[in-house]
Amino acid sequence: MKFGCTPSDVRFGYYKQEQATRDSLEDGWLHTGDAGYLEPDGHLVVLGRLSDVVHTAEGERYIPNYIENRLKFSPYIKDAAVLGRGRHTLAALICIDKDAVGLWAELRGISYMSYADLSQNPQVIELITSAVRHVNSTLLEKLQLRHFVCLHKEFDPDDGEVTRTRKIRRNVVEERYKPIIDAIYDRKSSVLMRAQVAYESGEVSVIERTLSVQEA
């Protein structure tokens, strides 16, 4: 993406960074390093940094963070990790927002014992399915999410899955949730996930939870 600059703008550039200035300014244009497109009505849509662009197996370009942010427009989705690098289809790991979904469930008389119970409730799954389908309606068909899994826990900065500002650490997420990702792309309908849970008392236990793989 690039923006026009006046000659007076061009002579300044980056402070004491001549190479960065040469890389960014060319023939009066500022190259921002962002990816985006113009809509038919002339509005500019910025997708994200060019460095964040990844490709599907068919060579389709997409920016995971752009789709993740659109998913998080839903009050019921706290975090999401979009998958698809080198794959034929896109999918997502989704963390529900316990407070928002818990209130939604309470108003409908839906009982649950834990985050994991709530995330796998059939009515909650349908709620999240609606949110995913809404996002799909805004995406090109080739870049629509085909499957998703509501995780049994939130992404946790203490586990290294997200930063303190909740930026996804993709390598950690893809390694830790590899059994789920494999189940998605092996077209399984569910996957058994084992997780270590630490309680406020200091006790630690291991829980097993069967997670549903959903079509979007």
d(CA 59, CA 38): 21
pLDDT by residue (tens digit) across 67-111? 999 999 999 999 999 999 999 999 999 999 999 999 999 999 999
d(CA 46, CA 139): 14
CATH number of the 54-215 domain: 3.30.300.30
Q: Domains of the chain: which residue ranges?
A: 54-215
Question: Which residues, 6 or more positions from 47, have their beta carbon under 8 angstroms from its beta carbon?
Answer: 34, 35, 36, 37, 63, 66
pTM above 0.85, yes or no: no
Contact (Cβ atoms closer than 8 angstroms) between residue 75 and residue 128: no
Tokens read off for 157: 């900065």
pLDDT by residue (tens digit) across 116-147? 999 999 999 999 999 999 999 999 999 999 99
State yes or no: pLDDT of 36 exceeds 80: no
pLDDT by residue (tens digit) across 169-211? 999 999 999 999 999 999 999 999 987 666 667 777 777 899 9
* Range of 2-11, 15-24, 124-133 with top mean pLDDT: 124-133
